[in-house]
Amino acid sequence: MMVAIDTRIGWRDVARVAAGDTLSLSPAAWARVDNASRIVERIVETGARAYGINTGVGALSDTVVDRASQSRLSRNIILSHACGVGELLAAREVRAIIAAQIANFAHGRSGVRAEIVRHLAAFLERDCVPDVPSKGSAGYLTHNAHTALVLIGEGSASVAGKRMNGREALNAIGLRPLVLAAKEGLSLVNGTACATGLASVALERVSRLLDWADAVAALTLEASGCQMAAFDEAVLALRASRGIAHVGASLRGRLDGSGLIAAALGKRTQDALSLRAVPHAHGAARDVFDTVSEVVDRELASVTDNPAVSGTPENPVVSSEAHAVAPALAQACDSLAIALAQISAMSERRMDRLVNPLVSGLPPFLASDAGSNSGFMIAQYTAAALSNENRRLAAPASTDGGLTSGLQEDFLAHPTAAANKLLSVIDNAEYILAIELMAAAQAHDFLTLTGARAKGTEAIHHATRAVVAHYGDDRPLAGDMEALRTLIREEAPPTVR
């Protein structure tokens, strides 16, 4: 499949490219790229002073670079900025960053040659994934520089899964190393493509995770004999929220016709908050998700290069600005991480209610022979540990601050750190929901004589049992957790019919 850029693309398009689709530009987009490139060429010819074209960068912005050294400046920017450390980003994440970078260049305000864009598009088309370390960007520079290394035949990459150096990677996909022109080095490390690409991948994962959170909660609610009156449409409408309304409708649909719910009617005046407040916590996360989606789409619709070029080759304009700083994107990623940490905490509490004999009414720790079998006792420990880690990760990156580049860059918004942290929270949330799903399915196995499951939860139970069997302390639980985490990460929950 092909994603085409005309005027703009959205985060769902970036996520598609991250998953394997290719990217193309419309004739109008190519025209914008060519026009911006000619503007930079004209500035080079006239010698008009412009940041990053014929000056140094950062704290060296007042240092003039002569024409003969401008190509060397572009190359040196790439080499000196490639300071990333730590584990490599996943291929999907690197592809998303490249897609977002191409989208930024397609606005026609960066001034890179079309050849740069074509090389990057070829990376996507021919499965060339630069090695990009996950840590080291206060904003975006180091991540982007490691991708740019491969363009000039440096660094390293994987082509069709095979690791090689940058020059070999280019040769493998039929390309030669580029000699960068003025401003291209700065443009290649600049902008918010890194955080925007990572945020797009995160949103795609969260969209599926939220659906699973509702489905898993429904299975637990049914096993717990919840009081459905709390989820009545008119009752939930008393609190205005599209997210709450959505989750309430999902729960009612999943649990419609449940014999277990009918058998528990009036058993309690009200349920514990980890059960009763599912629409409120899950709904709040959905509301935050909608807001973050809008922020990321606005980022993709924006020029995030500094400086931006405009005008015509005859009348060039270079504007130094701060569009590469992304406080809104950092704050958005932080807010979604907080929402998911809260959902994770609630999931762990529900899971504890299933295994805790003090409140469950089920065999202790869902063990078939409590005492000689520990059942899910320690699985709850794992969920608690991951939930606690998510609480720590939910501390905002956007307020970290910091000083760089000799006080020239004395405000840092940390959007890339916020996006990376969000991805870590998603990892943990998937595992926590997998553990709750495992426990809820086990609880239902003990309730077959109490009442029938609803059709909506029967589908979830069946999907779970297709992946893992009933547990009898007969195998390591870690394998079941991984299997169900993969189910949650890669597939949508069964729909209600």
Sign of dihedral through CA atoms 226, 231, 235, 236?
positive
Give pLDDT tens digits for 179-237.
999 889 999 999 999 999 999 999 999 999 999 999 999 999 999 999 999 999 999 99
Q: Are 115 and 37 a contacting pair, CB within 8 Å?
A: no
Neighbours of 313 (CB within 10 A): 15
Please report the domains of the chain, with CATH numbers, ordered by start residue.
2-190 (1.10.275.10), 199-490 (1.20.200.10)
Closest CA to 396 of 336, 448, 346: 336
Residues 6+ apart with CB under 8 A from 340: 206, 209, 285, 390, 422, 425, 426, 429
Give pLDDT tens digits for 245-255.
999 999 999 99
Q: How confident is the model at residue 71 (pLDDT cuts 50, 70, 90)?
A: confident
Distances (CA, A) of 475 to 445, 446, 483: 18, 19, 13
| Burial profile 3-35: b = 16 or more Cβ within 10 angstroms, e = fewer | bebeeebbbebbbbbbeebbbebeeebbebbeb
DSSP 269: S
Give, rounded to a whole angstrom, the gap between the first and last alpha carbons of the chain.
Answer: 30
Residue located via tokens 């890339």: 416
Alpha-carbon gap, residue 360 to 273, rounded angstroms: 15
Beta-bridge partners for 370: 373
pLDDT for residue 73 is more than 90:
no
Closest CA to 129 of 78, 175, 101, 94: 94
More confident residue, 337 or 77: 337
Q: Which two tokens stand for residue 98?
A: 């490249």
Give pLDDT tens digits for 99-116.
999 999 999 999 999 999
pLDDT at 403: 65
Q: Which two tokens stand for residue 117?
A: 């864009």
Give pLDDT tens digits for 317-363.
888 888 888 999 999 999 999 999 999 999 999 999 999 999 999 99
Name which of 47-56, 421-430, 477-486 the model is least confident about.
47-56
pLDDT for residue 70 is more than 80:
no
Q: How confident is the model at residue 62 (pLDDT cuts 50, 70, 90)?
A: low
More confident residue, 371 or 127: 127
**Per-residue DSSP letters for 302-321?**
S---SSEEEE-SSSEEEE--
Give pLDDT tens digits for 263-282.
999 999 999 999 999 999 99
Residue located via tokens 């929950």: 493
Helical packing angle, 327-355 and 377-393, nearest 10°: 160
Q: How confident is the model at residue 406 (pLDDT cuts 50, 70, 90)?
A: low
Distances (CA, A) of 470 to 217, 224, 347, 441, 480: 19, 18, 20, 8, 10
Neighbours of 41 (CB within 10 A): 17
Helical packing angle, 114-125 and 27-46, nearest 10°: 140
Mean pLDDT value across residues 460-478: 96
Name which of 60-64, 127-131, 268-272 the model is least confident about.
60-64
pLDDT at 61: 58
Neighbours of 52 (CB within 10 A): 28
| Burial profile 459-469: b = 16 or more Cβ within 10 angstroms, e = fewer | bbbebbeebbe
**What are phi and psi for residue 88, nearest 5 degrees?**
-75, 145
Give pLDDT tens digits for 139-153.
678 899 999 999 999
DSSP 370: B
> 307 preceded by cis ω (within 30°)?
yes
Q: Average pLDDT over the chain, rounded to whole?
A: 93
Mean pLDDT value across residues 71-96: 93
Mean pLDDT value across residues 32-56: 82
